[in-house]
Each structure stands twice: as C-alpha cells, then as structure tokens.
Amino acid sequence: MELYFLGTNAGVPTLQRNVTSIALRLLEERRSLWLFDCGEGTQHQILKSPLKLSKLEKVFITHMHGDHIFGLPGLLSSRGAQGVTLPLAIYGPPGIKSFIETTLNISQSRVPYTMEIMEHTGGVLFEDDSFRVEAAKLDHRAESYGYRIEEKDLPGSLDLKRLEAYGLKPGPLYGKLKRGESVDLGGGRWIHASDVLLTPKKGRVVTILGDTRPCPGVESLSKGADLLVHEATFMDDLTELAHEYYHSTAKQAAEAAERAGVKTLFLTHFSSRYKDIEHLQPLLKEAQQIFENTRLAEDFGLYPIQRRS
C-alpha cells in the first residue's frame, strides 16, 4: 500500500505544484489504484508518473470545488480512449453525478466502460473482505468530506515449529490452515488453524481529508490512523484568514494528528504564497513542534504505508 501525490497546491496550479489529487496504490493488496480528487491536469501528472489508468478502480471526490474536480472529465475520457474496460466506481457529494454526466454528454465523450456514480452524504460507502471505506462531513464552504480507508486484519503467519512438531511438511494442508480451516491427521487427531497461526497482521488505516476547518469529523475519521493526509493551506500567523476561508493551518493539522493518535501526518493543499519546498519549511517546522512525525507532501512523491508492529 502506497500513497502517490499528483498535486499538492490549493486553488490554482503553479509551476512547482499541481492542484489536488492523491493516488492510493493497492497493487499488492488488490492490483488496483484508487484516486482521491482529480484537479485540473491530473491526467497529465499521471502521464509523468508510474501510475496507469488501466489499474484505476475507484475515484473518491471530497467536494465540488474546481481544484478538486476539473480534471475528472478529461481523465474519464482518456481512460476510455486507451481501451480500458475495467468498471469504474465514483463516489462524491451531491452534484458529482450531474457534473460528470453533463460534461461528458456535451463534449460527446465516449466512455466504453461501465461507470457507476454514487452520491453520498457520509457513512460506509464500500466494504468487501479486504477493505472498508467510510466518509464523514467536514467544515468547508462547499459540502466537503473526508475518507477513512481501513484494511481488514490479515491472518498471522504459520508457526513452522509447531507444524513440524505435528509432523506436517509444506504442501496443500498449509494452505488450508492459512485459510482458517482445520486439518484431519487421522486417528481422531485434528489440527485447528488457531493452533498454528501466529498473531494476526493488523490492517492499516489511511485517512484522506478534503478541505476543512477544525471540526469533529476530522478527529472521528483520523482516530488511530497509520497515515493522515490533512490540508495545511496557511501558517499559524494567518489563522484568522484560514478560518474565514474555511481552511486549516499547519498547526491545526498537527493538533488534530496529536489528538487522534495517528502514526504519520502528511501536510498538503498549500497556498500559492508558499512558492516552493524552501518556502514550505516554516509550515513543516510549525507542525513538527506539536506533532514530530509530520511530513510535507510533494508532487510525484511516493510514500509506502508500513504496518504497525
């Protein structure tokens, strides 16, 4: 599981940073790609990256502001032009269905794959044997949501010493035990999976927030997350401006991470007044004074999400 940032700027693109889009790579977990927001130029950023539209399985939109959705019609059209047939699920706030259908219809764009557009107002949006995705409302000028992606726990590894003591050698029976099944050794002897499986591997939790001021939804979505992506449009000296425009400061993002007990905080959605990575260092320093394990998201930055021990 890895995060790949395609755009980290707020409002408009600059020469250094594109507007918001984040990819969650699940190549080992389900051989697919999930996209969170799709600002203008996102498909161009993908062309410069190792990501492939043929792997794109789901798109999650946080809110309907242009710097988060203007790249979507072009990306959907290009995905079809590349001959991709994999169905695509799109989740977003009310209005996303009308936006997509109107722009594709007016532009006569051809989409040769099945596309399901699901508008929501929060709650559990998706769940299968491996993942659960939940959304909650944030505090922004437009109806904005954050997403909590929970990977379900995986079975622990087989205890090879115990298996050897039972006289079992590697083979099909190992697979049955790994799947949680019991094995008949004959003569009334059985091995149950619980006898030979080590501690389950805890699933990872990733929280990706849309634009927001500090609010209860931030903490509920972020609680105990392995990785939190939080907007940091301004520094603390512009707290009043941040509040007026329904945004957060780097300090407020760090305070949220500290309260929620997350493992790693990534700051993103930076105002254009902070022109390059050098000008962003004060934001990083401000946040690290409160939450040490804070990092700056960078365009084309790839960040593995490690399991907690």
Catalytic residues: 67
* 120 assigned to a ligand binding site: no
Is 140 annotated in a binding site? The answer is: yes
What is the C-alpha separation between 297 and 294, in angstroms, rounded? 10
Quick count: other Cβ atoms within 10 Å of Cβ 27?
12
Does the annotation flag 68 for ligand binding? yes
Is 299 annotated as a binding-site member? no
Say what the alpha-carbon torsion angle 174, 175, 179, 182 is, to the nearest 10 degrees.
-50
Torsion of Cα atoms, 136 then 138 then 144 then 146, to 10°: -50
Task: Let me know if 108 is exposed, middle or buried by CB neighbors in 10 A (0-12, 13-18, 19+).
Answer: exposed
- Is the distance from CB of 21 to CB of 42 less than 8 angstroms? yes
Query: Do 37 and 9 form a contact (C-beta atoms < 8 A)?
Result: no
Q: 63 labelled as ligand-binding?
A: yes
Task: Find out whether 128 is annotated in a ligand binding site.
Answer: no
Q: How far apart are CA 13 and CA 6, in angstroms?
A: 11
Burial of 170 (0-12, 13-18, 19+ CB in 10 A): exposed
In sequence order, what are the beta bridge partners of 264? 227
Binding site members: 63, 65, 67-68, 140, 211, 269
Binding site members for Zn(2+): 63, 65, 67-68, 140, 211, 269
